[in-house]
Structure 1
Amino acid sequence: MERIDTDVLVIGAGSAGLSVAAGAVQMGARVVLLEAGKMGGDCLNYGCVPSKALIASAKTAYAMSHASRYGIANVVPQVDYAAAQDHVAGVIAQIAPVDSQERFEGLGVRVIREFGRFVSDTEVEAGDHRIRARRVVIATGSSPLVPPIRGLDAVPYLTNETLWDVREIPAHLLIIGGGPIGLEMAQAHRRLGAIVTVIEGERALGKDDPELAEIVLEQVRGEGVEIVEGAKAEEVRGTAGSLEVEVEDGRVFKGSHLLVAVGRKANIQDLDLEKAGIETSKSGIKVDAHLRTTNRKVYAIGDVAGGLQFTHVAGYHAGVVIRSILFGLPSSATTRHIPWVTYTQPELAQVGMTEAQAKDAHGDKVEVVRFPYTHNDRAIAERKTNGLVKVMVVKGRPVGASIAGEQAGELINLWALVIANKMKMSQVANMVAPYPTIGELNKRAAGAYFSPRLFESDVVKKVVGFVQKWLP
């Protein structure tokens, strides 16, 4: 067995692990990276990248069949689902070299394609290698959560890991789970020609602002997706091509394919964490504000840390631990400035507190600023006026922003910057946005915050009157 001593050992080559490995090795640390599966992890191979690629195909099909509002005849798109899946595979292949073993070995990382497990509080074994590291970073990510639904283990079903292997469009796709993954895939498959039914035990898009979520749900329903809320799946039965989902009130939904999209679980099995004195929680590995586990030499980042499960959070976590591991600097993680986006059309984006959360935390100190897409000239020109920007403000500083509408995922970037740096609404109002852009919505939202203060204030009017009276 080969014994290896290193500065940093990274377990997992997904977004979080690759970010740590690349950053650490380029700043002079010795780095060993373990990965038994595919380089790039879930995001590249099964999650963010393939889903957005399929959504792009679906958007194109939808645009073709809804072109008349622009003076162009509608056409019925001839969808080749296998070709769309080839497009997905092509996108993955184009991005894959950035995450490849060859690239990271070129940077100087020792890449070992084996699964790692702890054998002590300071050592990890991977295949024929035993590795001792000054610091260990666990970045093993997450996998689709398969709920304990009666009969599910006896029928064929899809997850985000297996969906990309399907070569024929499902005739009727049943989706258990009305969160972001479920709704994104529901709309995409409906646009590509499938009948789609979404079965959600509580409220669809339940983690987002209900008012803005409804804008998205109304559009998705309008395109023909059946969304059933308050319907907890209790039993699944049938065979390939003929499946049934029975919910707790006795209703039965029939379809040809079943996609399970109820969430994710942290990949902590088989790590033998107890041998390293590492405690776990219900959602993953127990970490402190510095992302350190109960073993002070071991960190856990990304999905496995049990918090927000997004690729950009994984990258953010990597930066936090790099500062701590390489420079010995105090570095903590927070979620108050972390945005997220559901890539339906219209998109749904959030950063910071929702309206309900802000009011719970700050009471009547919260001002809710609203600006609709209907007042944006670019949105009007492109016939994409179905949307709303909502900003929660406390003492002149935004504490949250919720956006539903065209390019919401791009618009939320500004509010993430503002909240991360504790900026004021006045600084957003001072920005000059090019005309006509969707981005003007953010500036107009800031303007809506100041409008009543300027245009409805008797004091302002008196001051202006006084100045006008005495100006030469």
Structure 2
Amino acid sequence: MTLQKTEETTCDICVIGGGSAGLSVAAGASQMGADTILVERGEMGGDCLNSGCVPSKSLLAAAKAARSGAKAAAFGIAYDPPRIDFEAVQAHVQQVIAGIAPHDSVERFEGLGVRVLRDSASFHSPHELVVGEQRIRARRFVLATGSRALVPPVSGLAETPYLTNESIFALKDCPDHLIVLGGGPIGCELGQAFRRLGARVSLVEMNRLLPREDRQAAELLRERLQAEGVEIHENAGMSAVQKTHDGIQAQLKTERGEATLEGSHLLVATGRQPVTDGLNLEAAEVIHDSRGIKVDARLRTSNRRIFAAGDVAGGPQFTHAASYQAGIILRNALFRLPARVNYAALPRVTYCTPELAQVGLTVEEAQQQGKKVEILQSTFAENDRARCEHATDGFIKIVATRSGAVLGATIIGPQAGELILPWGLAIARRMKLSALAGIIAPYPTLSEISKQVAGSHYTPKLFSSRTRWLVRLLLRLG
């Protein structure tokens, strides 16, 4: 690259990317006294605000409201069938985004003392970044450019109109028949949402639904989706797709042979790929591949003055992971503390109904690692609050050592994402089941399920023949 008519600018830390990770680093660094520059070529807030967490959860909330009338019948209350104004639903989604956007805006960050540059960034050398007409030299750089939807190599897909999470929230009309390629969290969430909002939905997954999650929990969610009318094709690959006069035609390869699926719209939800185009990482001596930028446990790249965080770093692709990584980088870059990432207590949630939350090891993962564990389980059917609300589908499953150390927790059921928090704390602080078994939980609450399942570890010993013998002995002694 030839530098011409460029103005040299210096700073302590330069962040490339205004998504969750980049904004957290920039805000923290500036408020702690570092001269900070933030570079963002697209929309402030990144994927999470504009096409990920915020719009998808807003759409799910609308879809849940559309379904509430059906649930009300269990309480003796009847509603007319819902009349869904899809354009108004999408307006609700955009209103939520607009309400949060000022928190991620250029104006807010400039108010925090951050210099914000709205342009593309490209490295000229291991210590120089070019942004428009400026050449930036920084003590530390942070790459937080995020990810975009991964488009699989399906024959005909490039010539066929399709949706991703980046375009589906711009639809003005509800699809007549939405084909969803991908049965991970995004596919399941949006598939259920659009079904509840009136679309026919066909979900295609080359493995089993939610292959990373606890098998029993994923099966329960699959049953719920099917009960709501979602057509599910598991262990099925999409071999070809083409545009037709009426919409989309997809060819599937299933265990029972080939099949044809026709719909009005196609949503591609097969994962994410890191955004590194245009950065000229070779000039920066930063090693990367199709999975992302290579980082060590301190989130340093192969160029030790350059860090990477968020989806582009090739690790867990969650907003809360990006925020956590930002804290690790700040400790390393500003205070030179050797802070390292530890994802042992990193939770994840699939926000369907019922919600599915996980932290730590699943049963399958513990078995694959050859651990000798105890599996504890309790159902929401045993929880009085869940019974009051007719929300008894689901369970909590705990993976623990025989001595009571918590290794993992799976919750599927009402408010699972809220209920997973104490189990993450237990793993992070190496707490035993006794800590949760001994806590006083308010009655009646869903949170009692955690106390109940923790207590079940001690039940066999508490009500054993040995305990009965001891009680009788003590009673005889007066």
Same-fold call, TM > 0.5?
yes
> Whole-Å Cα distance in 2 between the matches of residues 453 and 181 of structure 1?
43
- State the AA in 1 paired with 2:261: F
Contact 1:155 1:239 in 2 (8 A): no
Matched, 1:406 2:379: no
Q: In structure 2, the residue corresponding to 1:104 is in which secondary structure?
A: helix
Of 442, 445, 466, the match for 1:459: 466
1:378 to 376, 382, 385: 385
User: Could you tell me whether the CA contact under 8 Å between 1:5 and 1:133 is conserved in 2?
Assistant: yes
Contact preservation (8 Å) 1:240, 1:256: no
Question: Superposition RMSD on alpha carbons, in Å?
Answer: 1.0
TM-score norm. by structure 1 comes to: 0.98
Listed one character per residue, the Cα deviations across residues 312-343 of structure 1 (whole Å, up to 9, x for unaligned) are 00000001111111111110002111000000
CA distance in structure 2 between the aligned counterparts of 1:321 and 1:49, rounded to whole angstroms: 25
Among 320, 323, 328, the alignment partner of 1:320 is: 328
Distance in 2 of aligned mates of 1:81 and 1:64: 17
1:290 aligns with 2:292: no
Q: Tell whether 2:195 aligns with 1:187.
A: no
* Contact 1:156/1:240, CA 8 A, preserved across alignment: no
2:15 to 10, 13, 37: 10
Structure 2 counterpart of 1:372, which letter?
Answer: T
Amino acid in the other structure paired with 2:265 = H
| Whole-angstrom distance in 2 between the partners of 1:207 and 1:101 | 37
SS at match of 1:78: coil
Q: 1:356, CA displacement in angstroms?
A: 1.2
Residue of structure 1 in register with 2:400 after alignment: 393
Structure 2 distance, partners of 1:241, 1:132, is 54
Could you say which residue in structure 1 is the equivalent of 2:443? 435
Cα displacement (A) at 1:66: 3.0
Shift of 1:138: 0.3
1:225-244 equivalent positions in 2, closer than 5 A: 225-239=230-244, 241-244=246-249
Pair 1:12–1:240, CA change in 2 (3 A): farther
**Correspondence 1:13-412 to 2 at 5 A:** 13-239=18-244, 241-248=246-253, 249-363=257-371, 365-394=372-401, 395-412=403-420
Tell me the CA shift for residue 99 of structure 1.
Answer: 0.4
Q: Distance between the aligned counterparts of 2:367 and 2:247, measured in 1?
A: 47
C-alpha contact 1:65 1:77 (8 A) present in aligned 2: no
The whole-number CA distance in structure 2 between the counterparts of 1:24 and 1:430 is 41
Alpha-carbon offset, residue 240 of structure 1: 6.8
* Matched pairs, number: 469
> Is 1:450–2:458 an aligned residue pair?
yes
Mapped contact 1:149–1:235 kept (Cα < 8 A)? yes
**Closer, same or farther: CA 240–436 of 1 in aligned 2, 3 Å:** farther
Question: TM-score of the superposition, structure 2-length normalised?
Answer: 0.97
* Aligned partners of 2:150 and 2:272 also within 8 Å: yes
- Cα deviation per residue 1:453-472 (whole Å; 9 max; x = unaligned)? 211x222222222222213x
Q: Deviations over 1:179-227 (max 9, x none)?
A: 1000101110110000000011111111100101111111111000001
Equivalent residue of 2:323, what SS? helix
Deviation at 1:357, TM superposition (A): 1.0
Q: Which residue does 2:3 correspond to in 1?
A: none
Distance 1:321 1:170 in 2: 43
The runs of at least 4 aligned residues of structure 1 exceeding 6 Å deviation read: none
Q: AA paired with 1:305? A: A
- SS in structure 1 of the partner of residue 60 of structure 2: helix
**Alpha-carbon displacement from aligned partner over 1:327-377 (angstroms, at most 9, x marks no partner):** 1111000211100000000000100100011123243x2000101101000
Aligned amino acid, residue 391 of structure 2? K
Q: Give the Cα–Cα distance (whole angstroms) in 1 for the partners of residues 156 and 471 of structure 2.
A: 73
Q: Give the letter aligned to residue 115 of structure 2.
A: R
Change in 2 beyond 3 A, CA 1:463/1:281: farther
Q: Deviations over 1:73-126 (max 9, x none)?
A: 132000011100000000000000000000000000000001111110001111
Q: Which amino acid aligns with 2:388?
A: A
Contact 1:21/1:33 (<8 A) preserved: yes
Kept after mapping to 1: 8 A contact 2:274/2:290: no
* Distance across 2 between alignment mates of 1:383 and 1:136: 52
Contact 2:361 2:409 in 1 (8 A): yes
Secondary structure of the corresponding residue to residue 4 of structure 1: strand
Aligned equivalents of 1:122, 1:307: Cα separation in 2: 25
In the alignment, the residues of structure 1 paired with residue 144 and residue 78 of structure 2 have an alpha-carbon distance, to the nearest angstrom, of: 50
**Counterpart code for 2:383:** N
SS at match of 2:457: helix
Distance in 1 (alpha carbons) for counterparts of 2:245 and 2:454: 53
Which sections of structure 1, spanning at least 5 residues, go unmatched? Answer: none
Q: Which moved more, 1:240-249 or 1:152-161?
A: 240-249
Consecutive unaligned residues of structure 2, counting only runs of 5 or more, are 1-5
Distance 1:311 1:371 in 2: 30
| Structure 2 residue identity aligned to 1:89 | Q
Give % identity.
49
